Amino acid sequence: MTRIFFFIVLFFLSASALQAQQATDTPRKGEGISAFLKRNGRTGKVYHKEFLELNKKRLRGKEELLMGVKYILPPMQEDNKGEKGGKGNNTIREPLFGKKLAEVEITSDKLKGACFYISSGHGGPDPGAIGHVGRHELHEDEYAYDVALRLARNLMQEGATVRIIIQDKKDGIRDDRYLKNSKRETCMGDPIPLNQVARLKQRSDKINELYAKDRKQFKYCRAIFLHVDSRSKGEQIDVFFYHAPKSTQGKRLATSMRNTFQAKYERHQPSRGFSGTVSERNLYVLRHAQPVGTYIELGNLQNTLDQRRFVLSDNRQALANWMTEAIISDYRK
């Protein structure tokens, strides 16, 4: 009897030890692997690699987390100082992301050798499109900027070099539903002119100035322009992707994004469908910026359903995550 009791106790102790070793958690809406691990105090390439190994049967497609699934967290490593959120060689500091997110852990080298110019629409004296939710005004420049920062941070985590063209030193990445409006935005420190042509020329010239040096170092340079459309209030639209006329590589990147978004909608909202398209547009920044570029309209700021795409921070993060996935796919080609 004593022996049986001993084995029962031993069984429960072993089970408890195994459970303790295999801590689990469920991802939140919009979280990618890097954000999921960071929230659980596990950042860096070592944790990222171990997470993939532990959960290879639970991941769908190209390392995508599934809602409602419990994932095994890698055991905490006491001696892994260089990989645990410290300020080692795999950490970049970018104050534009805000105090809480300024430290960026490089979790992979999928985009090593790539350079991006992320430019959100309007800014400074020009708010762009303005939508309304009750007494709140939704300004295009604020929401496009928040998505731009999230995209920039994602790309940095994947090993890319990122130039953030439009900047606001105060805002950072925000989780608020209604983003406060300001006129602080600059073009990398230079005041943004109100005149539309002058404004577009300024950011195109800045990108070209950087690209003249970057093209000697990086084998893949891409300019990403983020905007929010303004149409009639009753018109719900999907994300649209534009490229410069006769730009084969621009079309390829835009198509990669469109295909990724379509796959996401089919998976997460199968009954809704997806109508976003890829097309040529003779837009100033696509014609004058020298790197291969893609211009993205994220939705209709006037439409009630589209507004949910912007006011929920998880949705803004999902937009950034999906664009990142599409960019990685294009870079691999």
Angle at 121 (CA atoms; ends 119, 124), nearest 5 degrees: 100
Instruction: Specify if 93 maps to a domain.
Output: no
Helix, strand, coil fractions of the chain, as percent rounded to 5: 40, 20, 40
Instruction: Count H helices and E strands in the chain, helices first.
Output: 9, 15
Q: Are residues 248 and 312 in the same domain?
A: yes
Q: What is the pLDDT of residues 208-236, one digit of tens each?
A: 999 999 999 999 999 999 999 877 666 77
Map tokens 């171990």 to a residue: 50
Enter the tokens of residue 215. 């093209």
Give the model confidence (pLDDT) of 44-58 as tens digits. 778 888 888 888 888
Same domain, 113 and 252: yes
Query: Is residue 63 left, alpha or beta, with left meaning phi > 0 and alpha meaning psi from -120 to 50?
Result: left
Residues 282 and 325 reside in one and the same domain:
yes
Examine residue 103 and state whether it is found in any structural domain, yes or no.
yes
CATH code of residue 177:
3.40.630.40
Residues 136, 41, single domain; the answer is no
pTM (two decimals):
0.78
Rounded mean pLDDT of 290-308?
92
Q: 265 or 13, which is more confident? A: 265
Q: What strands, in cross-sheet order, belong to the sheet with 166-167?
A: 166-167, 186-187, 190-191
Query: Same domain, yes or no, for 249 and 163?
Result: yes
Rg of the chain over Cα atoms, rounded to whole angstroms, equals 22
Average pLDDT, integer, range 74-98: 68
Residues 160 and 291 in one domain: yes
Q: How far apart are CA 125 and CA 198, in angstroms?
A: 13
User: Does residue 89 lie within any of the structural domains?
Assistant: no
Q: How many domains does the chain have?
A: 2
Q: Using alpha carbons, list the distances in angstroms from residue 194 to 93, 122, 186.
A: 31, 9, 12
pLDDT at residue 160 above 80?
A: yes
Q: What are phi and psi of 88, to 5 degrees?
A: -85, -160
Interior angle at CA 317, CA 332 and CA 301, nearest 5: 115
Residue 161 phi, psi dihedral angles, 5° rounding: -95, 130
**What are 103's strand-pairing partners?**
93
Query: Do 50 and 145 fall within a single domain?
Result: no
- Out of 5-9, 53-57, 71-75, which region has the weakest mean confidence (pLDDT)? 5-9
- For residue 260, which amino acid is it? T
Q: What does the alpha-carbon distance between residue 118 and residue 223 come to, in Å, rounded to a whole number?
A: 6
The C-alpha atoms of residue 138 and residue 301 are separated, in whole angstroms, by 7
Provide φ and ψ at 112, rounded to 5°: -65, 130
What mean pLDDT is predicted for residues 168-191?
96
Are 248 and 140 found together in one domain? yes
Does 88 reside within a domain? no
Q: Is residue 92 in a domain? A: no
**N-term to C-term CA, the chain:** 66
Question: Which residue segment(s) compose the domain that 59 sits in?
Answer: 2-83
- The tokens for 237 are 């639209």
**Same domain, yes or no, for 110 and 58?**
no
Which domain-ending residue is among 59, 83, 107? Answer: 83
- Identify whether residues 160 and 59 lie together within a single domain: no
Q: Read off the pLDDT of each residue in 77-87 and give the average, rounded to a whole number.
A: 46
Tell me the backbone φ, ψ of residue 267, rounded to 5 degrees. Answer: -85, -45
Q: Which pLDDT band holds residue 10 (cuts at 50, 70, 90)? A: very low
Residue 70 and residue 117 in one domain: no
Beta-strand ranges (E) seen in 186-285 are 186-187, 190-191, 220-229, 240-243, 278-280
Tell me the C-alpha distance between 64 and 67, whole Å. 10
